[in-house]
Structure 1
């Protein structure tokens, strides 16, 4: 697949995979057989281009998530995104689901390297991993990211956001709980 280059518009997006996956995934499934036998129906039933109500509720409830981005040449970067708190100490949401096909999360001032934003600027593909270590649950969202201004609406939710990332969902799915360590707050 050719990766779109540009400012991260959803209009420049190319569907991530065929229903069965890209050639590398297909080759690995043949090389390392599994007890799981994926077909067009089972994969499209699992990897949906929308956020179900349950999945939306799950990802909005979490205090953090991870993102993966890459530059125009495919050099990867992974980042942690955690919620902030308001002046009273109340937690702000880590992200908001806008509708079944999109979500938004804030970008706060950090170390000034702009690894994630810089990558999104030249390659809009984003992977998101959501983990609940207490209940041993995880989910993934893959999509097309776009950097947007911190409008009044964004600042009403995240007062110190310098920008926000709008994600158009391409794939959303729960993931098995295998090997997720149980971690509970102390």
Structure 2
């Protein structure tokens, strides 16, 4: 029997609803970095997807022009370990997704989802876990 896919139906549904995530990486010496990633607006007022979930073992995160420090990408080039934290303050729930990342430099490979992305972080998901009542303050976004 093969291992069950780490991304359950509940995980996929939760992740697809989120407007932002926190991504954590570390360099070769273990110095860590975390940063915010949010949905990008489209010209029509809708938003691009936060991530793509091609299957129950894979997440794809677009990389857009940012502060040009390349902390996330630079870390992943020397240490592929990655963690994504999806937070829903309304439901007071989080999903932590951990895995190994590779960089897809073909900006056109997913341009139908993210026309302005420079590259993509392709994550092989090793573990995904929900935490309900995650000690988050209740918050309603306006």
Higher relative helix content: 1
Structure 1 residue runs of 5 or longer lacking an equivalent are 1-47
> What residue is the counterpart of 2:48 in the other structure?
92
> How many Å separate the matches in 2 of 1:149 and 1:96?
16
Selected match of 1:58 from 7, 10, 14: 14
CA RMSD of aligned residues (A): 1.3
Higher relative strand content: 2
> What residue is the counterpart of 1:9 in the other structure?
none
- Cα distance, 1:49 vs structure 2: 5.3
1:157 matched to 2:116: no
- Cα distance, 1:134 vs structure 2: 1.1
- Cα distance, 1:176 vs structure 2: 3.2
1:147 matched to 2:103: yes
Q: TM-score if structure 2 supplies the norm length? A: 0.93
- Larger radius of gyration, structure 1 or 2? 1
- 8 Å contact from structure 2 (residues 87, 93) kept in 1: yes
> How many Å separate the matches in 1 of 2:100 and 2:130?
19
> How many Å separate the matches in 1 of 2:50 and 2:87?
13
> How many Å separate the matches in 2 of 1:178 and 1:138?
7
Selected match of 2:27 from 64, 67, 71: 71
